[in-house]
A and B are shown apart, each in its own frame.
Chain A
Amino acid sequence: DSGVTQTPKHLITATGQRVTLRCSPRSGDLSVYWYQQSLDQGLQFLIQYYNGEERAKGNILERFSAQQFPDLHSELNLSSLELGDSALYFCASSVFADSRSSGNTIYFGEGSWLTVV
């Protein structure tokens, strides 16, 4: 158990809908990352928050948005869903903002399986 908690574990929704994925980081971790894993794209970095502020942005679509709340949990909102958005979405957390910091290991949650039908 990595200590990173993601909900829901599985989600099936229709095209055009909107969903929210939730993540609670490990206790003491200030940084939260979101990754998408799909068969054709592999593991892709979406976005990172550190202590409530957006820190880095990757290949995140405009239909997707995220935020990190004062209690450090994070939500990833996916809207106007398309079939191609079906994927495993991972949340990860670390203590520091920057993985160059000594001891800054990034731990991943179990993922949220999203199926768009």
Chain B
Amino acid sequence: AQKVTQAQTEISVVEKEDVTLDCVYETRDTTYYLFWYKQPPSGELVFLIRRNSFDEQNEISGRYSWNFQKSTSSFNFTITASQVVDSAVYFCALYTGTASKLTFGTGTRLQVTL
């Protein structure tokens, strides 16, 4: 079975702080895909990144970076110098051929204050 665990339910930081959102996944598939989505207060789900299981390179996009570690089945997301606009719920998701669907974690609510 596929499972995604986001142990941090809620995180509060002050603007300009760095913050890391944890994601741990479980699957027996050797090929799989990991995603991060952002859900701002308005409700839409915004795609942030897609990572293949065979590509363990970390990725950086502006203030966002992702650390994929197969050895620990983790795909963590770091926001550097957080801003109020980063306040949202962030979801990690796993896609496998076995499940043939995106399995989401329960999300981490990030609150960035001034």
Interface residues of A (CB under 8 A from B): 2, 33, 35, 42-43, 45, 48, 55-56, 58, 88, 90, 92, 98-100, 105-111, 113
Whether B45 pairs with A111 at a CB distance below 8 angstroms is yes
- Docked Cα-Cα span, A110 to B43, in Å, equals 7
A56: contacting residue among B31, B50, B101, CB under 8 A: B101
Contacts of A58 on B, CB cut-off 8 Å?
A: 101
The total of Cβ contacts below 8 Å across the A-B interface reads 55
Secondary structure at chain B's binding surface: helix, strand, loop or mixed?
A: strand
Total count of chain B residues near the partner, CB < 8 A: 22
Secondary structure at chain A's binding surface: helix, strand, loop or mixed?
A: strand
- Docked Cα-Cα span, A30 to B35, in Å, equals 20
Whether A42 pairs with B104 at a CB distance below 8 angstroms is yes
Residue pairs across A and B with Cβ atoms less than 8 A apart, 26 shown, are A2-B46, A33-B101, A35-B102, A42-B104, A43-B91, A43-B107, A45-B101, A45-B103, A48-B101, A55-B100, A56-B100, A88-B43, A92-B45, A99-B95, A100-B31, A100-B95, A100-B97, A105-B35, A106-B47, A106-B95, A106-B102, A107-B47, A108-B46, A110-B42, A111-B45, A113-B43
